Structure 1
Protein backbone atom coordinates (compact mmCIF):
# COMPACT_ATOMS: atom_id res chain seq x y z
CA UNK A 1 0.00 0.00 0.00
CA UNK A 2 1.39 3.38 -0.95
CA UNK A 3 0.34 6.36 1.07
CA UNK A 4 0.49 9.93 -0.09
CA UNK A 5 -0.42 13.16 1.58
CA UNK A 6 -3.59 14.80 0.30
CA UNK A 7 -4.49 18.44 0.54
CA UNK A 8 -7.79 19.87 1.66
CA UNK A 9 -10.44 19.14 -0.97
CA UNK A 10 -8.55 16.21 -2.53
CA UNK A 11 -10.01 12.74 -2.30
CA UNK A 12 -8.30 10.34 0.01
CA UNK A 13 -6.83 7.10 -1.29
CA UNK A 14 -9.65 4.52 -0.92
CA UNK A 15 -7.33 2.15 0.98
CA UNK A 16 -6.54 4.84 3.53
CA UNK A 17 -10.20 5.79 3.83
CA UNK A 18 -11.04 2.13 4.48
CA UNK A 19 -8.23 1.95 7.03
CA UNK A 20 -9.60 5.01 8.84
CA UNK A 21 -13.08 3.44 8.91
CA UNK A 22 -11.71 0.10 10.16
CA UNK A 23 -9.63 1.92 12.75
CA UNK A 24 -12.62 3.85 14.06
CA UNK A 25 -14.76 0.71 14.20
CA UNK A 26 -12.05 -1.20 16.05
CA UNK A 27 -11.45 1.71 18.42
CA UNK A 28 -15.13 2.00 19.34
CA UNK A 29 -15.36 -1.75 19.90
CA UNK A 30 -12.33 -1.61 22.17
CA UNK A 31 -13.74 1.32 24.16
CA UNK A 32 -16.23 -1.00 25.81
CA UNK A 33 -13.83 -3.94 26.19
CA UNK A 34 -11.77 -5.16 29.11
CA UNK A 35 -8.40 -4.09 27.71
CA UNK A 36 -9.39 -0.49 27.07
CA UNK A 37 -6.62 1.16 29.12
CA UNK A 38 -3.88 -0.63 27.17
CA UNK A 39 -5.49 0.16 23.81
CA UNK A 40 -5.99 3.81 24.83
CA UNK A 41 -2.38 4.20 25.93
CA UNK A 42 -1.03 2.54 22.81
CA UNK A 43 -3.14 4.68 20.49
CA UNK A 44 -2.16 7.82 22.42
CA UNK A 45 1.52 6.97 21.89
CA UNK A 46 0.95 6.37 18.18
CA UNK A 47 -0.89 9.69 17.79
CA UNK A 48 1.75 11.62 19.71
CA UNK A 49 4.60 10.22 17.59
CA UNK A 50 2.87 11.59 14.52
CA UNK A 51 2.66 15.05 16.05
CA UNK A 52 6.29 15.36 17.03
CA UNK A 53 6.09 13.76 20.49
CA UNK A 54 8.81 11.20 19.82
CA UNK A 55 8.30 9.03 22.89
CA UNK A 56 4.57 9.43 23.24
CA UNK A 57 5.02 10.40 26.91
CA UNK A 58 4.46 14.14 26.58
CA UNK A 59 1.51 16.46 26.75
CA UNK A 60 0.18 15.25 23.38
CA UNK A 61 -0.16 11.67 24.63
CA UNK A 62 -1.96 12.90 27.79
CA UNK A 63 -4.27 15.04 25.66
CA UNK A 64 -5.12 12.13 23.35
CA UNK A 65 -5.70 9.81 26.34
CA UNK A 66 -8.10 12.38 27.76
CA UNK A 67 -9.95 12.69 24.43
CA UNK A 68 -10.20 8.91 24.15
CA UNK A 69 -11.54 8.60 27.70
CA UNK A 70 -14.10 11.34 27.04
CA UNK A 71 -15.21 9.52 23.88
CA UNK A 72 -15.49 6.29 25.86
CA UNK A 73 -17.69 8.01 28.47
CA UNK A 74 -19.91 9.41 25.70
CA UNK A 75 -20.13 5.99 24.04
CA UNK A 76 -20.99 4.14 27.25
CA UNK A 77 -23.66 6.73 28.11
CA UNK A 78 -25.10 6.59 24.59
CA UNK A 79 -25.31 2.81 24.61
CA UNK A 80 -26.80 2.74 28.11
CA UNK A 81 -29.45 5.25 27.00
CA UNK A 82 -30.14 3.48 23.71
CA UNK A 83 -28.97 6.56 21.79
CA UNK A 84 -27.60 4.93 18.63
CA UNK A 85 -27.04 8.29 16.92
CA UNK A 86 -24.73 9.48 19.71
CA UNK A 87 -22.83 6.18 19.60
CA UNK A 88 -22.47 6.55 15.82
CA UNK A 89 -21.24 10.12 16.35
CA UNK A 90 -18.37 8.88 18.52
CA UNK A 91 -17.30 6.49 15.78
CA UNK A 92 -17.68 9.16 13.08
CA UNK A 93 -15.58 11.62 15.07
CA UNK A 94 -12.71 9.13 15.39
CA UNK A 95 -13.02 8.10 11.74
CA UNK A 96 -12.63 11.76 10.80
CA UNK A 97 -9.68 12.19 13.19
CA UNK A 98 -7.98 9.11 11.78
CA UNK A 99 -8.50 10.36 8.22
CA UNK A 100 -6.95 13.74 9.08
CA UNK A 101 -4.00 12.03 10.74
CA UNK A 102 -3.49 9.73 7.75
CA UNK A 103 -3.52 12.74 5.43
CA UNK A 104 -0.97 14.59 7.53
CA UNK A 105 1.28 11.61 8.27
CA UNK A 106 1.30 8.77 5.73
CA UNK A 107 3.61 6.74 8.00
CA UNK A 108 0.73 6.58 10.49
CA UNK A 109 -0.95 4.07 8.13
CA UNK A 110 1.48 1.26 9.00
CA UNK A 111 1.03 1.80 12.74
CA UNK A 112 -2.76 2.02 12.48
CA UNK A 113 -2.92 -1.09 10.26
CA UNK A 114 -0.82 -3.05 12.76
CA UNK A 115 -3.06 -1.94 15.63
CA UNK A 116 -6.27 -2.79 13.74
CA UNK A 117 -4.89 -6.19 12.70
CA UNK A 118 -3.84 -6.96 16.26
CA UNK A 119 -7.16 -5.93 17.82
CA UNK A 120 -9.55 -7.36 15.24
CA UNK A 121 -10.72 -10.82 16.26
CA UNK A 122 -10.02 -13.52 13.68
CA UNK A 123 -12.92 -14.23 11.39
CA UNK A 124 -14.75 -17.43 12.08
CA UNK A 125 -14.51 -20.09 9.41
CA UNK A 126 -18.24 -20.68 9.61
CA UNK A 127 -20.59 -17.77 9.82
CA UNK A 128 -23.75 -19.80 10.28
CA UNK A 129 -26.66 -18.33 8.40
CA UNK A 130 -28.26 -19.75 5.29
CA UNK A 131 -26.58 -21.71 2.54
CA UNK A 132 -28.27 -22.09 -0.84
CA UNK A 133 -27.02 -24.80 -3.17
CA UNK A 134 -28.18 -25.64 -6.67
CA UNK A 135 -27.31 -28.40 -9.11
CA UNK A 136 -27.25 -27.70 -12.81
CA UNK A 137 -27.02 -30.37 -15.48
CA UNK A 138 -27.51 -34.06 -14.97
CA UNK A 139 -26.79 -35.81 -11.70
CA UNK A 140 -27.38 -39.50 -11.10
CA UNK A 141 -27.36 -41.06 -7.67
CA UNK A 142 -27.07 -39.30 -4.36
CA UNK A 143 -25.84 -35.74 -4.27
CA UNK A 144 -24.79 -34.14 -0.98
CA UNK A 145 -24.25 -30.41 -0.80
CA UNK A 146 -23.17 -28.69 2.38
CA UNK A 147 -21.14 -25.77 3.65
CA UNK A 148 -19.44 -28.14 6.08
CA UNK A 149 -20.19 -31.66 7.17
CA UNK A 150 -19.23 -33.11 10.52
CA UNK A 151 -19.75 -36.71 11.53
CA UNK A 152 -21.15 -39.31 9.19
CA UNK A 153 -23.52 -38.63 6.32
CA UNK A 154 -26.20 -41.23 5.66
CA UNK A 155 -28.55 -41.60 2.80
CA UNK A 156 -32.23 -41.72 3.63
CA UNK A 157 -32.46 -44.40 0.93
CA UNK A 158 -30.15 -46.86 2.66
CA UNK A 159 -27.16 -48.12 0.71
CA UNK A 160 -28.92 -48.17 -2.66
CA UNK A 161 -29.90 -44.93 -4.37
CA UNK A 162 -33.38 -44.72 -5.86
CA UNK A 163 -33.78 -45.50 -9.56
CA UNK A 164 -33.64 -42.52 -11.86
CA UNK A 165 -35.74 -42.08 -14.99
CA UNK A 166 -34.04 -43.95 -17.82
CA UNK A 167 -31.70 -45.78 -15.40
CA UNK A 168 -31.59 -49.48 -16.23
CA UNK A 169 -29.10 -50.46 -13.54
CA UNK A 170 -30.52 -53.34 -11.45
CA UNK A 171 -31.17 -52.42 -7.83
Structure 2
Protein backbone atom coordinates (compact mmCIF):
# COMPACT_ATOMS: atom_id res chain seq x y z
CA UNK A 1 0.00 0.00 0.00
CA UNK A 2 2.90 2.37 0.74
CA UNK A 3 4.22 2.04 -2.82
CA UNK A 4 0.75 2.77 -4.21
CA UNK A 5 0.44 5.90 -2.05
CA UNK A 6 3.92 7.05 -3.08
CA UNK A 7 3.05 6.58 -6.76
CA UNK A 8 -0.24 8.45 -6.34
CA UNK A 9 1.52 11.26 -4.47
CA UNK A 10 4.15 11.52 -7.22
CA UNK A 11 1.48 11.62 -9.91
CA UNK A 12 -0.46 14.20 -7.92
CA UNK A 13 2.58 16.41 -7.42
CA UNK A 14 3.47 16.28 -11.11
CA UNK A 15 -0.10 17.19 -12.05
CA UNK A 16 -0.29 19.94 -9.42
CA UNK A 17 2.93 21.58 -10.62
CA UNK A 18 1.76 21.31 -14.22
CA UNK A 19 -1.54 22.91 -13.32
CA UNK A 20 0.23 25.79 -11.58
CA UNK A 21 1.50 27.03 -14.93
CA UNK A 22 -1.62 26.22 -16.96
CA UNK A 23 -4.76 28.08 -17.97
CA UNK A 24 -6.87 25.94 -15.63
CA UNK A 25 -4.94 26.93 -12.51
CA UNK A 26 -7.66 29.13 -10.98
CA UNK A 27 -10.22 26.33 -11.14
CA UNK A 28 -7.72 23.73 -9.95
CA UNK A 29 -6.41 25.92 -7.12
CA UNK A 30 -9.80 26.15 -5.43
CA UNK A 31 -10.30 22.38 -5.55
CA UNK A 32 -6.75 21.68 -4.36
CA UNK A 33 -7.05 24.17 -1.51
CA UNK A 34 -10.14 22.31 -0.27
CA UNK A 35 -8.27 19.01 -0.60
CA UNK A 36 -5.26 20.22 1.41
CA UNK A 37 -7.38 22.03 4.02
CA UNK A 38 -9.34 18.79 4.70
CA UNK A 39 -11.86 20.64 6.85
CA UNK A 40 -9.28 23.09 8.21
CA UNK A 41 -8.23 26.58 7.19
CA UNK A 42 -8.82 26.70 3.44
CA UNK A 43 -7.39 30.23 3.13
CA UNK A 44 -4.04 29.04 4.52
CA UNK A 45 -3.94 26.27 1.92
CA UNK A 46 -4.81 28.78 -0.82
CA UNK A 47 -2.00 31.06 0.33
CA UNK A 48 0.48 28.18 0.37
CA UNK A 49 -0.53 27.23 -3.18
CA UNK A 50 -0.29 30.88 -4.30
CA UNK A 51 3.21 31.29 -2.87
CA UNK A 52 4.34 27.98 -4.33
CA UNK A 53 2.99 28.91 -7.76
CA UNK A 54 4.83 32.24 -7.64
CA UNK A 55 8.07 30.47 -6.79
CA UNK A 56 7.51 27.92 -9.56
CA UNK A 57 6.82 30.58 -12.19
CA UNK A 58 9.92 32.52 -11.12
CA UNK A 59 12.05 29.35 -11.21
CA UNK A 60 10.84 28.43 -14.70
CA UNK A 61 11.37 31.96 -16.01
CA UNK A 62 14.92 31.87 -14.62
CA UNK A 63 15.51 28.41 -16.08
CA UNK A 64 16.16 27.02 -12.59
CA UNK A 65 15.06 23.41 -13.02
CA UNK A 66 16.46 22.45 -9.59
CA UNK A 67 14.17 24.92 -7.83
CA UNK A 68 11.20 23.70 -9.88
CA UNK A 69 12.05 20.09 -8.99
CA UNK A 70 12.29 21.06 -5.29
CA UNK A 71 8.80 22.57 -5.43
CA UNK A 72 7.41 19.39 -6.97
CA UNK A 73 9.22 17.26 -4.37
CA UNK A 74 7.75 19.34 -1.53
CA UNK A 75 4.22 18.84 -2.88
CA UNK A 76 4.89 15.12 -3.39
CA UNK A 77 5.83 14.84 0.30
CA UNK A 78 2.80 16.88 1.36
CA UNK A 79 0.49 14.69 -0.74
CA UNK A 80 1.98 11.44 0.57
CA UNK A 81 1.46 12.62 4.16
CA UNK A 82 -2.13 13.66 3.43
CA UNK A 83 -2.83 10.27 1.87
CA UNK A 84 -1.32 8.41 4.82
CA UNK A 85 -3.24 10.49 7.36
CA UNK A 86 -6.65 10.09 5.73
CA UNK A 87 -7.57 7.01 3.69
CA UNK A 88 -10.55 8.83 2.14
CA UNK A 89 -8.09 11.27 0.58
CA UNK A 90 -6.94 8.57 -1.86
CA UNK A 91 -10.26 8.46 -3.70
CA UNK A 92 -10.56 12.24 -3.63
CA UNK A 93 -7.08 12.75 -5.09
CA UNK A 94 -7.72 10.17 -7.80
CA UNK A 95 -10.92 12.02 -8.69
CA UNK A 96 -9.08 15.35 -8.85
CA UNK A 97 -6.35 13.90 -11.05
CA UNK A 98 -8.92 12.41 -13.43
CA UNK A 99 -10.77 15.72 -13.60
CA UNK A 100 -7.68 17.69 -14.56
CA UNK A 101 -6.10 15.20 -16.96
CA UNK A 102 -4.99 16.88 -20.17
CA UNK A 103 -7.18 14.57 -22.26
CA UNK A 104 -10.36 16.19 -21.04
CA UNK A 105 -11.01 14.61 -17.69
CA UNK A 106 -11.03 10.97 -18.56
CA UNK A 107 -13.69 11.18 -21.23
CA UNK A 108 -13.92 7.88 -23.04
CA UNK A 109 -12.10 7.72 -26.34
CA UNK A 110 -14.17 6.90 -29.37
CA UNK A 111 -14.00 6.78 -33.09
CA UNK A 112 -14.62 10.06 -34.81
CA UNK A 113 -15.03 10.47 -38.54
CA UNK A 114 -15.20 13.95 -40.03
CA UNK A 115 -15.86 14.87 -43.63
CA UNK A 116 -16.03 18.15 -45.49
CA UNK A 117 -18.28 18.57 -48.51
CA UNK A 118 -20.18 21.20 -50.41
CA UNK A 119 -17.71 23.74 -51.64
CA UNK A 120 -14.11 24.68 -52.03
CA UNK A 121 -12.07 25.43 -48.96
CA UNK A 122 -9.06 27.68 -49.53
CA UNK A 123 -7.60 27.30 -46.08
CA UNK A 124 -7.50 25.03 -43.07
CA UNK A 125 -10.71 23.41 -41.88
CA UNK A 126 -10.89 22.46 -38.20
CA UNK A 127 -13.37 20.15 -36.56
CA UNK A 128 -13.01 19.35 -32.90
CA UNK A 129 -12.88 21.06 -29.58
CA UNK A 130 -10.45 22.92 -27.35
CA UNK A 131 -8.50 24.84 -29.96
CA UNK A 132 -6.35 27.69 -28.67
CA UNK A 133 -3.51 29.85 -29.86
CA UNK A 134 -3.95 28.98 -33.52
CA UNK A 135 -2.60 31.23 -36.25
CA UNK A 136 -3.13 30.60 -39.95
CA UNK A 137 -1.52 32.38 -42.84
CA UNK A 138 -3.03 31.75 -46.24
CA UNK A 139 -2.81 33.38 -49.62
CA UNK A 140 -5.54 34.22 -52.09
CA UNK A 141 -7.02 31.21 -53.85
CA UNK A 142 -5.68 30.18 -57.25
CA UNK A 143 -8.20 30.74 -60.06
CA UNK A 144 -9.72 27.56 -61.43
CA UNK A 145 -8.52 26.38 -64.84
CA UNK A 146 -10.55 27.80 -67.71
CA UNK A 147 -11.50 30.96 -65.82
CA UNK A 148 -9.94 34.39 -65.75
CA UNK A 149 -9.53 36.74 -62.89
CA UNK A 150 -11.56 39.94 -63.00
CA UNK A 151 -10.53 43.08 -61.26
For the superposition of Structure 1 and Structure 2, which TM-score range results when normalised by the shorter chain?
0.5 to 0.7
Aligned pairs (5 A) from 1:107-146: 107-122=88-103
| Residue of 5, 8, 16 corresponding to 1:19 | 8
2:84 matched to 1:103?
yes
Structure 1 residue ranges without an equivalent (≥5): 1-11, 54-59, 126-171
2:56 matched to 1:38?
no
Q: TM-score, length-normalised on structure 2?
A: 0.66
2:63 matched to 1:74?
no
Distance in 2 between residues matched to 1:48 and 1:88, nearest whole Å: 23
Q: Which residue of 1 aligns with 2:127?
A: none
Q: TM-score, length-normalised on structure 1?
A: 0.58
Quote the offset at 1:47 in angstroms. 1.9
Structure in which a larger fraction of residues adopt helix: 2
Which ranges of 4 or more aligned residues in structure 1 deviate by more than 4 Å? none
Q: Which has the larger Rg?
A: 1
Q: Which residue of 2 aligns with 1:131?
A: none
